[in-house]
């Protein structure tokens, strides 16, 4: 059993912790918290050891009656790898500390590729992370693009991808972000960073992206236009997506015509926190005109990268060298259907 630390037990960190804890070949050695909030309290209830990520805050945790095991410095000895789930930009600074402490580290999509050196997606470049010390799991949007573009590339070859990403303005628990009643080009420049980000794991892919923010909290939505190299049929695409792990086809005609209904479905599936680890592709949206494939998909921004973090651990610690086996193992342990 490999021992995993989680640095930053927030939106992503708590989910990765649960996914790691659910595996049969790794365990959580401890999680770090800066603030003794409700998530810290819940971590204790779930049996995770808490280490303070900032010094001199014992009294805050004492006041909140949340027991801590020590500071983050005492956690490094106990782990084989740290999954850094701190806010974007903090991870790159933490990397220097991990290097000094001689501990491997996984970072999230909020960090810059160049600062970590290697990016990761289970389906695109698993092998490149084998034995690596520092790896960045690409963002939720990029992960969503890779999940469906990879199998399409294998099926028919990709000449050019155009994608318009309609992003949720804030996560459900974020009350200080907007927009409330507006559509915000973000960035207002074209292309957005998502295309280059996909290229950090799908090397050489010809892709241009545009992105906007809208006033919703539930999921991102992507509109894809994929020029194919060879002749494929919609049936081929359906068959491909049906057998692709972590991708599900949903039918608007069966009541799954929006991101809200898809989230309702995830709750009905009994998923922890109502998460949907899979990318949901609207079956009705699939169309091919002049060798160009069109489709729409929904991305649960809080959870789709979670299984990728688990696979990255296996690759970096060389617990598994076959991506398909790691993906299958991760999926089975966290109950992924797609």
Nearer to a second copy, 155 or 296 (CB): 296
Q: Encoding tokens for residue 67?
A: 């027991």
DSSP 127: G
Cβ at position 236, least distance to a second copy in Å: 17
194 is in an annotated binding site: yes
Q: Which of 188, 229, 322, 337 touches a second copy (CB under 8 A)?
A: 188
Cβ at position 297, least distance to a second copy in Å: 10
- Closest residue by Cα to residue 144 from 237, 269, 293, 280: 280
Cβ at position 284, least distance to a second copy in Å: 4
Cβ at position 199, least distance to a second copy in Å: 14
Rounded Cα distance between 300 and 219, Å, is: 5
- Under rule CB under 8 A, residue 282 binds a second copy: yes
Q: By CB neighbour count within 10 A (0-12 exposed, 13-18 middle, 19+ buried), where does 179 fall?
A: middle
Q: Within 40-99, which residues bind a second copy (CB under 8 A)?
A: none
Q: Encoding tokens for residue 321?
A: 């060298």
Q: Which residues does residue 83 pair with via DSSP β-bridges, in sequence order?
A: 6, 106
12 is in an annotated binding site: yes
Cβ partners under 8 Å of residue 285, min gap 6: 294, 295, 296
Ordered DSSP codes for 49-78: PEEESSSS-HHHHHHTT----EEGGGTGGG
Q: Which stretch binds a second copy (CB under 8 A): 59-67, 97-105, 174-182, 323-331?
A: 174-182
- Under rule CB under 8 A, residue 287 binds a second copy: yes
Cβ at position 75, least distance to a second copy in Å: 38
Q: Which of 103, 128, 133, 191 touches a second copy (CB under 8 A)?
A: 191
Asked if residue 179 has a cis previous peptide bond (ω within 30° of 0), the answer is yes
* Helix ranges (DSSP H) in the chain: 11-21, 38-45, 58-63, 90-101, 113-116, 140-156, 194-199, 234-243, 259-268, 306-316, 323-334
Q: Encoding tokens for residue 36?
A: 């003794």
Q: Which of 132, 140, 161, 310 is catalytic?
A: 140
Has 85 been annotated as catalytic? no
Q: Which of 285, 291, 319, 328 touches a second copy (CB under 8 A)?
A: 285
Element (H, E) at 297: strand 292-299
Q: What 3-state DSSP class applies to 136? A: strand
Phi/psi of residue 260, each to 5°? -65, -40
- Under rule CB under 8 A, residue 336 binds a second copy: no
Q: Which of 95, 118, 162, 300 touches a second copy (CB under 8 A)?
A: 162
Contact letters for a second copy, residues 237-276 (x by CB under 8 A): ---------------x----xxxxx---------------
Nearer to a second copy, 35 or 208 (CB): 208
Q: Which of 92, 106, 166, 315 touches a second copy (CB under 8 A)?
A: 166
**For a second copy, how many residues bind (rule: CB under 8 A)?**
44
Rounded Cα distance between 201 and 48, Å, is: 32
State the residue for tokens 């086996």: 325
Q: Which of 7, 119, 139, 216 touches a second copy (CB under 8 A)?
A: 216
Q: Which stretch binds a second copy (CB under 8 A): 63-71, 89-97, 136-144, 290-298?
A: 290-298
Do 73 and 80 contact (CB within 8 A), yes or no? no
- Under rule CB under 8 A, residue 196 binds a second copy: no
Q: Which residues bind a second copy (CB under 8 A)?
A: 162, 164, 166, 168, 179, 181-185, 187-191, 208, 210, 212, 214-219, 221, 223, 225, 252, 257-261, 282, 284-287, 289, 292, 294-296, 298
Known binding-site residues for NAD(+) equal 11-12, 110, 168, 301
Which residues are part of the catalytic machinery? Answer: 140
């Amino acid at each position: 059993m490999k021992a995993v630390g989680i640095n930053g037990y927030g939106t992503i960190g708590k989910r990765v912790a649960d996914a790691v804890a659910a595996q049969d070949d790794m365990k959580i050695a401890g999680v770090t918290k800066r603030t003794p909030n409700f998530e810290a309290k819940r971590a204790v209830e779930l049996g995770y050891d808490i280490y303070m990520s900032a010094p001199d805050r014992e009294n805050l945790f004492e006041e909140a009656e949340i027991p801590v095991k020590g500071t983050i410095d005492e956690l490094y000895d106990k782990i084989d790898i740290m999954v850094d789930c701190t806010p974007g930009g903090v991870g790159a600074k933490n990397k220097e500390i991990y290097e000094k402490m001689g501990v491997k580290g996984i970072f999230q999509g909020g960090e810059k590729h160049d600062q970590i050196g290697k990016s990761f997606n289970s389906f695109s470049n698993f092998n490149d992370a084998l034995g690596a010390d520092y790896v960045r799991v690409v963002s939720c949007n990029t992960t969503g693009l890779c999940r469906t573009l990879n199998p399409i590339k294998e099926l028919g070859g990709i000449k050019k991808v155009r994608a318009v990403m309609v992003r949720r303005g804030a996560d459900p628990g974020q009350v200080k972000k907007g927009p409330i009643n507006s559509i915000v080009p973000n960035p207002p420049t074209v292309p957005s960073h998502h295309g280059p980000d996909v290229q950090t794991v799908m090397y050489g892919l010809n892709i241009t992206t545009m992105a906007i923010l809208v006033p919703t909290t539930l999921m991102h939505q992507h509109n894809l236009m994929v020029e194919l190299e060879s002749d494929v049929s919609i049936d081929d695409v359906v068959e491909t997506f049906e057998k692709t792990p972590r991708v599900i086809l949903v039918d608007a005609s069966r009541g799954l015509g929006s991101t809200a209904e898809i989230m309702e479905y995830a709750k009905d599936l009994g998923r922890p926190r109502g998460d949907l680890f899979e990318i949901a592709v609207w079956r009705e949206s699939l169309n091919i005109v002049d060798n160009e494939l069109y489709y729409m998909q929904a991305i649960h921004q809080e959870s789709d990268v979670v299984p990728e973090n688990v696979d990255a651990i296996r690759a970096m610690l060389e617990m598994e060298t076959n991506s398909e086996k790691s993906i299958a193992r991760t999926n089975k342990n966290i109950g992924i259907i797609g």
